[in-house]
Amino acid sequence: MNAIRSSGFTLSPNASLRDRNTLRVDARAAWLADIHDAAAIPDLLDQAVLRDAPTLLLGEGSNVLFTRDFDGAVVTMKTRGIETLDGGSDAVRIRVAAGEHWDGLVRWALAHGHAGLENLILIPGSVGAAPMQNIGAYGVEVREFIESVEAYDLRQRRHAVFRNADCEFGYRDSIFKRHPDRWLITAVTLRLPREWSPRIEYSGVQDELRRMGIEHPAPIHVADTVMALRTRKLPDPAVIGNAGSFFKNPLIPGAQAAALRAEHPQLPCWPAPNDTSKLSAAWLIEASGFKGLREGDAGISNRHALVLVNHGDATGEQLWALAQRVRAGVREQFGVELEPEPRVITA
């Protein structure tokens, strides 16, 4: 069967997803839809081959693990555009199409004198995926800057606008993540304050600034610091397949955290809401002996214990089996359950 093309989308049959996920898993989709115009979404959904097909929404594939082929339609927004809106004297508002690259947006903002996103530089993925995952790094989460999210409801076949509170943001979580494949995000409007102060409280940031000899950092200095830290710690997906941090930092009851800290004083631990504590998943994995482990082409990075890597031709099943082994080892050693950060597509 041939591809179906229109001015607003391309629909390709039996498509490889190897170049559509940063773990480089060689899965396939029955159909792959690339949307270049959000107005074309209803026409795409009216295509006969998609009417009864399951749908999977995919950004740049930096937060997904395919353990199998997908017998349905994988849908990706490829729209482009960044527009500066009137935000008044206290902020600048920026509306961004979902298909824009997140790191490209951060660099665009810095180049145009807009601060706030610099801690989130070098995070892979699309702008549309950012609110779904509530991406965060070095003490900052994207929810802090999201004014609204525009999305298409695939169930009710209508466009909708979510204000910040409607998104129900949590730690690496949102209403969009809790209802996968219902809301196709088409654009995000950010609100960046004109009054800026650096966010450099996170471990390692101040030390890196001191090493760089910077006492009064500007936004570009914070961005450079974060880039230095990320490139030093995290493997580049362009060099070796990975999806960044594969496990969330676990939240556990405060009493349990105190008991673990009494037994393991070096365990990094931070206070969290509702009498809980956040632990370092990387420390737990490394202390369980998994850092640098390799089974065939599936492995755990020797640079950062949170990163699951594909050394070449690992299948999604092999990568997921290794991730499950890590979870079981940490559970047995510390009694803590690790939760994957990426979405795992299983049978």
CATH number of the structural domain spanning residue 176? 3.30.465.10
Are both 68 and 101 inside the same structural domain? no
- Residue 174 placed within a domain: yes
The 10s digit of each residue's pLDDT in 214-223 is 999 999 999 9
Are both 116 and 60 inside the same structural domain? no
Are both 100 and 136 inside the same structural domain? yes
Are both 314 and 277 inside the same structural domain? yes
Are both 98 and 179 inside the same structural domain? yes
The 10s digit of each residue's pLDDT in 204-257 is 899 999 999 999 999 999 999 999 999 998 899 989 999 999 999 999 999 999
Are both 86 and 189 inside the same structural domain? yes
Q: Out of 59, 77, 95, pick the residue that ends a domain.
A: 77
**Spatial separation of the C-alpha atoms in residues 56 and 154, rounded to whole Å:** 11
**Spatial separation of the C-alpha atoms in residues 119 and 224, rounded to whole Å:** 9
Helices marked H in 138-218 — which ranges? 175-178, 205-211
- Residue 261 placed within a domain: yes
- Residue 102 placed within a domain: yes
Are both 260 and 177 inside the same structural domain? no
**Spatial separation of the C-alpha atoms in residues 169 and 164, rounded to whole Å:** 8
User: What's the mean pLDDT in 183-197?
Assistant: 96
Q: Out of 77, 94, 114, pick the residue that ends a domain.
A: 77
Q: Which residue type occupies 96? A: V
Are both 92 and 73 inside the same structural domain? no
Residues marked active site are found at 172, 245, 341
- Residue 230 placed within a domain: no
The 10s digit of each residue's pLDDT in 22-62 is 999 999 999 999 999 999 999 999 999 998 899 999 999 99
**Spatial separation of the C-alpha atoms in residues 29 and 53, rounded to whole Å:** 11
Name the nearest CA neighbour of 166 among 154, 149, 179: 149
Percent share of the chain, pLDDT over 90: 92
Are both 179 and 150 inside the same structural domain? yes
- Residue 322 placed within a domain: yes
Are both 50 and 124 inside the same structural domain? no
Q: How many angstroms separate the most distant Cα atoms in the chain? A: 63
Q: Out of 77, 96, 126, pick the residue that ends a domain.
A: 77
**Which pLDDT belongs to residue 52?**
87
User: What's the mean pLDDT in 117-136?
Assistant: 96
- Residue 23 placed within a domain: yes
User: What's the mean pLDDT in 260-287?
Assistant: 95
**Spatial separation of the C-alpha atoms in residues 104 and 246, rounded to whole Å:** 23
Are both 248 and 320 inside the same structural domain? yes
User: What's the mean pLDDT in 288-307?
Assistant: 97
- What 8-state DSSP symbol labels residue 142? G
Looking at the structure of the chain, the number of domains it has is: 3
**Which pLDDT belongs to residue 38?**
97
Give residue 291's domain range.
Answer: 241-345
Are both 86 and 188 inside the same structural domain? yes
- Residue 301 placed within a domain: yes
CB environment 34-57: b (16+ within 10 A), e (fewer): bbebbebbeebbebeebeeeebbb
Q: What's the CATH code of the domain at 38?
A: 3.30.43.10
**Spatial separation of the C-alpha atoms in residues 166 and 185, rounded to whole Å:** 14
**β-strand 307-310 against 298-300: which pairing, if any?**
antiparallel
- Residue 256 placed within a domain: yes
**Which pLDDT belongs to residue 88?**
86
The answer, yes or no, to whether residue 1 has pLDDT greater than 80, is: no
Residue 310, φ and ψ in degrees, nearest 5: -110, 110
pTM: 0.90
